[in-house]
Chain A
């Protein structure tokens, strides 16, 4: 899914040169849930911005979803950002003066989706993050956690190949952070590839793999043996569906899961119960679902819309 080789990023500010990233090599497979950790200034955001095609590397190459990114022109990069990447910012970056649902529609505007279809998908995405009733509110009328959920809905609405989040819980309290992680876990279970940057080990332990950075270099790459489950015992918002599903995870077979998964990808919350459980099973048991698809990588996540 992501293949980064010898990636370098050097910032030049006047006479100074800051090497934010030096020779980074990373592979992230489809359906993985990765956390990037490291002290402040270690280059986490720089890496994520490069992965998100928001910035251009000084050297090295970057393959995303089978495409070589380094060297792509402005228009091509815009298209990649639009179609392949869902970016979630620490500071949310919603447009303040338009409603949640209009915010979620934005990526689809640039993708050329027809207005009616756009509204439908935006509402679906908001329902998926548990904000169905709040969709006509403006960002200023929502809590921090809710705003971040809108941002996540916006990130996933174009069914991107990968979701990138730079400290998505950084501006939230523990509880809201948990809720956000529950959503990410749910998305990951339904097949999405996710990379998040975080300071907090507690947050990172919700993922399945932690990359440690220091001074622009990758220090450590450890799998998480037994990822924490967000909101296992409680059930607000989206967790209502995620919770019970996890109990019956083992019951579903790989074949059934792939079918269910593709069908469900668009609306997790809409279809709760056994269906949700099978989808979840597929996500957590390696990549059984993805393997069943000819396309290979998380086809499930995009299967419905394409």
Chain B
């Protein structure tokens, strides 16, 4: 009996009890569907996270006070000279801005709010790739002249001024009026990455109002590959200038991305493993039913042997039956898994990344499950003696 014939006989066996065959393979269906969906969702999620991080910028970094060191914070860790020197002496750093934040009363024509006020330099708009909706970001001249100009996040502008024109209007920060010169367009982050809406003012104007201290330094490097090195040099330089090793710490987007990558990778593996275990349990389910099926079909085996089936034919028949069952389950599971991945991706608004190799792997894996868990029942069937098998009811 050739393979094609064996497959036909096995299919006949499967079709004879469709419901039972379906239930047998349900474990495989669910297992494969789970594996494919989990991997696809994990990959999709990771891709979204990465593209979000890339949107923010892959070459940016921040240097702040190392809160792991137990040295007291003096408020003089950063000064404007540091920023200028670092930018001058490290060529791979293209933009660098001090950044200080505080909360304060902000009042527009319509409303007032206790809100975030951030002092930065003009470089900040390049580092954060700020997109202006209206007007402009403030310039080095604004900064040097300590001009009272402000740039608002779009949300905040709407809140403070309503429908009336924010641009060109005065906004009052802690009772000091500032001229609104620009409005920052809202980002289109799929993950809803957005910081608190803030008012941005030139750092030197900020220092006049809130004090000399600078919270941290943000910057960007000429390329993604350069960022970690440039940041390291900047930290060293700061330590030297302030004679304070261990005081500063840097964090680059590159590191963030690697961390995010690792976390999503680990999560995919963990959930994937759980899904894999369900697949394994599904395989045991197939074996279980196949064993019952062999017992139930002892007479059939006897008849086939009496008609000239060799043990090999019986072995192959049951093995192929198990493999075909698992493959059918794998096929349905793949379809369900891909469907599930698309559905969830649609709800979560991220790309469904069903990689063809996951589907292929699932397919090969289900066939392997068929072989592994089919061999025991098939062997049991093949070992029967024809007359014994015929005698059994």
Which A residues lie at the B interface, using CB under 8 A?
49, 52, 54-55, 74-75, 78-79, 81-83, 87, 89, 93-95, 97-98, 102, 106-107, 109-112, 154, 158
Known interface pairs A110-B1, A112-B1; A78-B305 also in contact (CB < 8 Å)? yes
The yes or no answer to B304 lying at the interface (CB within 8 A) is yes
Once the chains bind, are A87 and B306 in contact (CB under 8 Å)? yes
Which B residues lie at the A interface, using CB under 8 A?
1-2, 5, 9, 12, 16, 299-300, 302-313, 385-387, 390
CA–CA, A52 to B390, complex, Å? Answer: 13
Interface-centre pick from B9, B305, B309, B386 (highest chain A CB count, 10 A): B386
Nearest A-chain residue to B308, judged by Cβ:
A82
Q: Please classify the interface of chain A as helix (H, G, I), strand (E, B), loop, or mixed, using the class held by over half of its residues.
A: helix
Query: Can you spell out 12 A-B residue pairs with CB atoms less than 8 angstroms apart?
Result: A82-B307, A83-B308, A93-B299, A93-B390, A98-B12, A102-B12, A106-B304, A106-B307, A109-B1, A109-B9, A110-B1, A110-B310
List, in ascending order, chain B residues with CB within 8 A of A109's CB. Answer: 1, 5, 9
CA–CA, A154 to B300, complex, Å? Answer: 15
List, in ascending order, chain A residues with CB within 8 A of B300's CB. Answer: 95
List, in ascending order, chain B residues with CB within 8 A of A89's CB. Answer: 390
Q: How near does chain A come to B359, taking the closest CB pair, in angstroms?
A: 32
Known interface pairs A93-B390, A109-B5; A52-B306 also in contact (CB < 8 Å)? yes
Count of A-B contacts with CB under 8 A?
66
Once the chains bind, are A81 and B387 in contact (CB under 8 Å)? no
Nearest B-chain residue to A49, judged by Cβ:
B387
List, in ascending order, chain A residues with CB within 8 A of B303's CB. Answer: 93-95, 106
List, in ascending order, chain B residues with CB within 8 A of A98's CB. Answer: 12, 16
CA–CA, A106 to B311, complex, Å? Answer: 15
List, in ascending order, chain A residues with CB within 8 A of B390's CB. Answer: 54, 89, 93
List, in ascending order, chain B residues with CB within 8 A of A49's CB. Answer: 387
List, in ascending order, chain A residues with CB within 8 A of B308's CB. Answer: 78-79, 81-83, 107, 110-111, 158
Nearest B-chain residue to A55, judged by Cβ:
B387
Q: How near does chain B come to A117, taking the closest CB pair, in angstroms?
A: 13
Nearest A-chain residue to B15, judged by Cβ:
A97
CA–CA, A98 to B14, complex, Å? Answer: 12
- The 3 closest A-B CB pairs, nearest first, are A82-B308, A110-B308, A78-B310
List, in ascending order, chain A residues with CB within 8 A of B299's CB. Answer: 93
Once the chains bind, are A54 and B306 in contact (CB under 8 Å)? yes
List, in ascending order, chain B residues with CB within 8 A of A97's CB. Answer: 16
10 further A-B contacts with Cβ under 8 Å, apart from A109-B5, A112-B2, are A54-B306, A75-B310, A78-B305, A78-B308, A78-B313, A89-B390, A109-B1, A109-B9, A110-B308, A111-B308
Known interface pairs A74-B311, A75-B312; A81-B306 also in contact (CB < 8 Å)? yes
CA–CA, A225 to B50, complex, Å? Answer: 98
CA–CA, A83 to B9, complex, Å? Answer: 20
Once the chains bind, are A110 and B307 in contact (CB under 8 Å)? yes
List, in ascending order, chain B residues with CB within 8 A of A95's CB. Answer: 300, 303
